[in-house]
Amino acid sequence: MSRVLVIFLQALLAVAFLGGLFAQVVVIPTTAADEVALFPPNESVRVPFVTSAIVFIACFQLLLVALWGVLQRAAKGTVFEAGALTWTNIAIGAAGAAAVVLGFLFVYVTLADIPSPSDGMETLGLWMGSAVGTVAAIGFALLLVVGRQWLRRAVAQRAELEQVV
């Protein structure tokens, strides 16, 4: 793999990671505080929503770390070795954890009495978004499981080929 391409992709991963960190530390708490200032009854749902958002972004950051590890292996030409399976397991775990966070958010929005400053469409949008996000995260995790199986086969075939040669 081209060294320039690896550096470019690593820079993109680093920017995404730092952007997530900025969102966790600054954007999410500030936005939540602003929303409560505009509509004080939202104070009752502030902690669950902020916690869900921060943990979801942490799952995304863990996925970025796993992609960084796979990218490092690609740069060295060692993707089809057993150590690469560790990074795919981390990615699967991160996607699964994100699905769990979104699933909990979906259940919370379904069961909680969330105040709405207008007609409740914000709550409906949050409910539908968390449902679709949960399904998408589960689908992504399953796609990664399939990719891990392909990688496992490729590792086994490479080991077998090395024995023959």
Cβ neighbours, 10 Å, residue 16: 15
Q: What is the pLDDT along the chain (165 residues), one digit of tens a residue?
A: 788 998 999 999 999 999 999 999 999 999 999 989 988 988 989 999 999 999 999 999 999 999 999 999 988 988 888 888 999 999 999 999 999 999 999 999 999 888 887 777 888 999 999 999 999 999 999 999 999 999 999 988 988 888 887
Q: How far apart are CA 33 and CA 16, in angstroms?
A: 24
Q: How far apart are CA 37 and CA 84, in angstroms?
A: 48
Residue with tokens 């902690």: 47
Q: With beta carbons less than 8 A apart as the criterion, state whether 6 and 74 touch.
A: yes
Question: What are the two backbone dihedrals, phi and then psi, of residue 155, each rounded to the nearest 5 degrees?
Answer: -65, -45
Closest to 138 in 3D by CA, of 90, 80, 83, 96: 96
